[in-house]
């Protein structure tokens, strides 16, 4: 038995320190819900997990961008729907004015409504905007890019030529049109039919873009869910596993504490025996 150096006590202290570190580690994981709190816990998992976290957050923003693009196209389609209703009314007025049961005075009254609707169509075309950007009346071939991916390449964006959606009284074939005479009214019927065809074509393009963006969002949602699941398995703490480790470390710590209290008395007991002898 060594009197000057209590080796048993030192070993018990070392065990207590080790078990205390285990308790702190498992308690920290349980409280934070994270298995990898620093690179020391698992450097590889931390590196991969950070990349996955960046990807997940980027996917969330891409989904938001796609939602904004859908909203923009919905604004455009809403305006085109109203223009369609006004064009249909113009056709009704043209058919009514083309009948010789009306005189020029009667046609003049109908023409007042006709011109008012034409003015409203023109105003709607000019004022339909989203976040300050004109949607239905663009004079150049500018392209709008919607970032719906997480990369920097062209595969991460959806583009559309604004000219494909541009509408005006000229390409709707109603510029300078009136129904003041029966002849003008009859001519307008054919022009308005062309306008409705052009408007329907643009609405079809807008609808196809909305469907494409919706499919993009669905794909991003699935990818984000799977990425989050993978990151969770890699970084999140297993509550049952960490709880059992915490309990085991606490039991060992208590045992080491009892051993330390006993070994601390070894030297004193030895000296007492020598004295009594």
Cβ-contact 25, 248 below 8 angstroms: no
Q: How confident is the model at residue 127 (pLDDT cuts 50, 70, 90)?
A: very high
Q: How confident is the model at residue 265 (pLDDT cuts 50, 70, 90)?
A: low
**Per-residue pLDDT reduced to its tens digit, 61-72:** 999 999 999 999
Query: What residues contact residue 28 under an 8 Å CB cut-off, 6+ apart?
Result: 37
Question: What is each CA distance from 9 to 13, 22, 141, 209, 252, in whole angstroms?
Answer: 6, 20, 84, 76, 15
- As a whole number of angstroms, the distance between CA 157 and CA 162 comes to 15
Query: In whole numbers, what is the pLDDT of the chain averaged over residues?
Result: 85
Cβ-contact 90, 114 below 8 angstroms: yes
- As a whole number of angstroms, the distance between CA 9 and CA 113 comes to 103
**Per-residue pLDDT reduced to its tens digit, 168-188:** 888 888 888 899 999 999 999
Average pLDDT over residues 133-159: 86
User: CATH fold of 43-235, please?
Assistant: f41 fragment of flagellin, N-terminal domain (1.20.1330)
Q: How confident is the model at residue 88 (pLDDT cuts 50, 70, 90)?
A: very high
Handedness of CA 20, 25, 29, 35 (dihedral sign): negative
């Amino acid at each position: 038995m060594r009197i000057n150096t209590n080796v048993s006590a030192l070993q018990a202290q070392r065990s207590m320190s080790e078990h205390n570190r285990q308790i702190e580690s498992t308690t920290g994981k349980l409280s934070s819900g994270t298995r990898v709190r620093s690179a020391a816990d698992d450097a590889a998992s931390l590196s991969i997990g950070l990349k996955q976290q960046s990807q997940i957050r980027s996917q969330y923003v891409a989904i938001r961008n796609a939602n904004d693009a859908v909203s923009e196209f919905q604004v455009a389609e809403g305006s085109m729907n109203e223009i369609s209703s006004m064009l249909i009314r113009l056709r009704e007025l043209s058919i009514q004015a083309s009948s010789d049961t009306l005189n020029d005075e009667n046609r003049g009254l109908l023409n007042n409504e006709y011109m008012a609707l034409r003015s409203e169509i023109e105003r709607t075309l000019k004022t339909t905007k989203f976040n300050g950007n004109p949607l239905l009346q663009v004079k150049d071939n500018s392209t709008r890019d919607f970032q719906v991916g997480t990369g920097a390449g062209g595969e991460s964006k959806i583009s559309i030529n604004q000219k494909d959606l541009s509408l005006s009284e000229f390409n709707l074939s109603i510029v300078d049109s009136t129904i003041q005479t029966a002849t003008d009214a009859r001519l307008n019927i054919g022009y308005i039919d062309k306008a409705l065809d052009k408007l329907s074509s643009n609405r079809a393009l807008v609808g196809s873009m909305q469907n494409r963006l919706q499919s993009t969002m669905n794909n991003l949602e699935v990818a984000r869910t799977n990425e989050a699941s993978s990151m969770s398995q890699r970084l999140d703490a297993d509550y049952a596993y960490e709880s059992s480790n915490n309990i085991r470390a606490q039991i060992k710590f208590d045992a080491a504490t009892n051993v330390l209290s006993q070994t601390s008395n070894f030297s004193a007991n030895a000296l007492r025996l020598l004295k009594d002898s």
